Structure 1
Amino acid sequence: MSGCTNCSTGTSAVGGCQNNGSCGTSDCNKMNAFDWLSHMGIPEVDKFDIVEIKFKGGRKDYFRNTGLLPLTTGDPVVVDVPNGHHIGYVSLQGELVRLQMQKRKIKNDDNILGIYRIATEKDLEKWQEAKNREIPTLYRSKQIIEELKLGMKLSDVEYQADNSKATFYYSADDRVDFRELIKVLASEFKIRVEMRQISLRQEAGRLGGIGVCGRELCCSTWIHDFKSVTTSAARYQNLSLNPSKLSGQCGRLKCCLNFELDSYLSALEDIPNVEKPLLTEAGSAKLQKTDIFRRLMWFSYNDDNNWHSIDCDRVKMILDQNAKGITPYNLQQDKPFEGEFDQNKNNQDLELLDKKFAQGKRKKKRKPKSKKPYAASREGGAPNQEPHDKRNRNQKNNRNPKKGNRNQNPQENPAQAQGRAGQQAPKGKNKGQSNKRRRPNRNRNPKNDPNKGKSDGQ
């Protein structure tokens, strides 16, 4: 077996509608219903004769099986509609249809129209030709609406199977006068026009899509009656009141906010209502967070970042004590243990120390000292100074009158001074010549030293 003709799933076996892969619904998983009474063997005589028929966009209606046709879920049938006939698919039959009609408050009277026959191949081909006109008609109709400057949003177009009528689904915030629009559409497409206003939730259900949960939208799969959703449902569930997170694809609050609301309301019955901070000797404790299902509540002292968790029974006890004028030691215990220091007093001392050091004196910045000129070196001065500066020479020779001239030893005779001066390296600025003093050769042979054995006084 092959899959459906439109979705082309290519499945090896047909399941569900048992129509051998030719259902052509184009929405295989939209508004599906499971007949859980089909295997119970209900007598055919008492079988309910009204059948639930599904149309495009998940729209469902009820028709009477006057000819007692052997229908199966998923069969295309031709049904009677005002001013013509239409084709739909069987979605539910039997006793479950009776329950659905009671739920939707639909009366079993003569207003329910009947089923003509099971659709033939010729009926399906003619209906397919009508469906092929829907997309071009939708685009052209949007252009006409822009030309007429109407405040409405056209979302879908549905052609009737006999190709004689088209239903235009639109949404608008205010009332729209579309009498001129109907005249233009009727003359443009040569059909009878029906305008039907739908809500934004119904528009999202007809268009379909994937939600943030990763599944198909609930409004396009199984929800047909939309209930009002308020922000109080989010408050009871401790959710962030962020509109971008709470709103669905339709721009309204998500329908799934009502799914778990009853469970939260039943769990909140045992949670105490804390309207003001709890008074303790450690400070006033403000409520920060509540875990409804674990029955834990987090408090902080004096808007501190550290949170302390206690159970709901302890919170009720502290509320009763505060009502009687009793102040417990802290959130966990009523009285301090023996030898336990006063935490509140210690915190006050720490706060005083923090204030003291926070307002300490600032150190004055030292002024930078004036840089003195670089003193001339012993052998000719610095590279950035003139080596033959007369003034530097005088300062060098007259450093300290008490110490005298370094180049002259008062205890040595002129001959020794002349000999020592001859041993000094000549001063010069030639390239490749070093200005440093030559160190004595420690590796020379002492036997060859002519001054060996002579005293300084000789």
Structure 2
Amino acid sequence: MSCNSCGTGGGTPGGCKNHGTCGTSGCNKLTVFDWLANMELPDGQAPFNYVEVRFKNSRKEYFINSENLQLKIGDIVATQTETGHDIGIVTLTGELVRVQLKKKKIRYETDDMPKVYRIASQTDIDKWKAAREREEPMKVRAREIAIRLNLQMKISDIEFQGDGSKATFYYTAEERVDFRQLIREYATEFKTRIEMRQIGLRQEAARLGGIGSCGRELCCSTWLTDFRSVTTSAARYQNLSLNPQKLAGQCGKLKCCLNYELDSYMDALKDFPKQNQKLYTEKGTAVCQKIDIFKGLMWYCYEGEWMNWHTLTTTQVHEIVSKNKAKEKVASIEEYAAEHVVIEEVNFENVVGQDSLTRFDQPATKNKKRKKRRNNRGPKPDAAAKKTSQPNHKKAPQSKAPQTKGPKPDAKGQKPKPKPRRKPTNQNKPKDGTQTTQSKPKPKPTGDAANKPRKKRPNNRNRPPKKNE
């Protein structure tokens, strides 16, 4: 039987191919690594005949292997229950089960310990799969009925028994809920035995699972078994901001990981003076503003000069406090702060190996720049010389040359001659009213001079490039 997350059917997990023995939460939640699996027992010692069986999500129970079955991690077994039998997966065998029983304070030397019937057959697995497929639509319908009855509760999960004879409804509620009418409607709606079980918000998060703010799976759904009380004092000792959005987990309570590093912070704070301890100097009274626990530094400022902070070590602060207890005042805290001036060298490092951020950019090469210059200069010098030697040669159309305003060419392709501009007559007229002589226009040439071809002005755009360019 494969799990819901990585299974593709066929009785084996399709993702990891480990037959339900992988260490991720997809196949086994709260899995214990059996480091004694490859070790043989001493001569004459019988194996420990108790096994740990995991059911849906994080529910685990312990059973006695009275039939001495050859069980290993990942086997699907049929176990004893109060009504009928249940189907689960073996997660631990051998001597480590004895350790887990002692850790959870379970008395296993009693007669009422449940038993393992047999290794599950294919018929048992088919019934189990059919019951598991009914859970999600039942949960949606159960929530609709609870909302219709105006009950202040939340149906978080439903778990069917292996033989499909009973369904357990897990719910969370802040107050006591009278669900007698709810059970009657559930029994008539789902045609099965109903059991209501209330769990806390942390247990709900452990059953459902999820991803925390650290980017990893929730600790309560992967390895954490005991839920210790977490208070806001743990955040104060670690100098964390008391922001409920950052300190709360998926369950809405304070994160369990606030207790992980609390002991190391408490040990480091033993050498620190109290933060409300004031330093009395001749210059004024200094108040603590900030501390760095692992560097052993404290920042003080004078009352009234809240912007000027002075860095002191814990030994320096203890020295000033001891003098104040002896009714002595130091001159100022600047004398002690001047001793602790550290110039930090900024060394920028990265995992790539000091590579530039623009290493993936492709800068323009020199060849491309040269091509652009040639295109802007115009045609080659040989073509320009040919055009100047042939006066009646038609000019080739230039696609990139800008179009200039002027008269349109005629049918032969030649532009008409531009009309001469008229000179203003009143421009050079003197103020006294006397007339000035104007230059006469030149007479038009006649005879051979009229048939002589006109010289064209050199075109600067088509001139050959100089060598210096």
Same-fold call, TM > 0.5?
Answer: yes
Runs of 4+ residues deviating >3 angstroms = 3-6, 8-16, 334-337, 436-439
Aligned to 1:30: 29
2:14 & 2:133 partners in 1: Cα distance?
24
Are the structure 2 counterparts of residues 437 and 154 from structure 1 closer, same or farther at C-alpha, using a change threshold of 3 Å? Answer: farther
2:5 & 2:84 partners in 1: Cα distance?
26
CA offset at residue 90 of structure 1? 0.7
**Secondary structure at the counterpart of residue 96 of structure 1:** helix
Q: Residues 50-65 of structure 1: matches in 2 within 5 Å?
A: 50-65=50-65
Aligned to 1:47: 47
Aligned to 1:309: 311
Are the structure 2 counterparts of residues 437 and 206 from structure 1 closer, same or farther at C-alpha, using a change threshold of 3 Å? Answer: farther
Asked if the contact 1:30/1:58 (under 8 Å) is kept, the reply is yes
Aligned to 1:133: 134
Are the structure 2 counterparts of residues 437 and 164 from structure 1 closer, same or farther at C-alpha, using a change threshold of 3 Å? Answer: farther
Are the structure 2 counterparts of residues 165 and 281 from structure 1 closer, same or farther at C-alpha, using a change threshold of 3 Å? Answer: same
Are the structure 2 counterparts of residues 328 and 114 from structure 1 closer, same or farther at C-alpha, using a change threshold of 3 Å? Answer: same
CA offset at residue 285 of structure 1? 1.7
2:337 & 2:157 partners in 1: Cα distance?
71
Aligned to 1:397: none
Q: Percent identity?
A: 52
**Secondary structure at the counterpart of residue 286 of structure 1:** strand
Are the structure 2 counterparts of residues 10 and 165 from structure 1 closer, same or farther at C-alpha, using a change threshold of 3 Å? Answer: closer
Asked if the contact 1:6/1:26 (under 8 Å) is kept, the reply is no
**Secondary structure at the counterpart of residue 194 of structure 2:** strand
Structure showing greater Rg = 1
Aligned to 1:327: 329
TM normalised by structure 2 equals 0.67
Letter of the 1:211 partner, please give it: G
CA offset at residue 119 of structure 1? 1.0
Q: Residues 230-379 of structure 1: matches in 2 within 5 Å?
A: 230-302=231-303, 303-333=305-335
1:11 & 1:202 partners in 2: Cα distance?
27
Deviation string, structure 1 residues 399-444 (Cα, Å, up to 9, x no partner): xxxxxxxxxxxxxxxxxxxxxxxxxxxxxxxxx989x9969xxxxx
Asked if the contact 1:299/1:308 (under 8 Å) is kept, the reply is yes
Are the structure 2 counterparts of residues 196 and 319 from structure 1 closer, same or farther at C-alpha, using a change threshold of 3 Å? Answer: same
**Secondary structure at the counterpart of residue 335 of structure 2:** coil
2:245 & 2:188 partners in 1: Cα distance?
43
Deviation string, structure 1 residues 305-339 (Cα, Å, up to 9, x no partner): 232211100010111111122111222537999xx
2:16 & 2:336 partners in 1: Cα distance?
71
Are the structure 2 counterparts of residues 267 and 288 from structure 1 closer, same or farther at C-alpha, using a change threshold of 3 Å? Answer: same
Instruction: Give 5+ residue unaligned stretches, structure 2.
Output: 8-12, 340-424, 433-469
1:163 & 1:26 partners in 2: Cα distance?
25
Q: Does residue 192 of the first structure (1) align with residue 196 of the second (2)?
A: no
Are the structure 2 counterparts of residues 289 and 111 from structure 1 closer, same or farther at C-alpha, using a change threshold of 3 Å? Answer: farther
Give the aligned CA root-mean-square deviation in angstroms: 3.1
Among 10, 13, 18, the residue aligned to 1:14: 18
1:260 & 1:189 partners in 2: Cα distance?
48
Are the structure 2 counterparts of residues 13 and 153 from structure 1 closer, same or farther at C-alpha, using a change threshold of 3 Å? Answer: closer
**Secondary structure at the counterpart of residue 103 of structure 2:** helix
TM normalised by structure 1 equals 0.69
Are the structure 2 counterparts of residues 309 and 46 from structure 1 closer, same or farther at C-alpha, using a change threshold of 3 Å? Answer: farther
2:40 & 2:291 partners in 1: Cα distance?
52
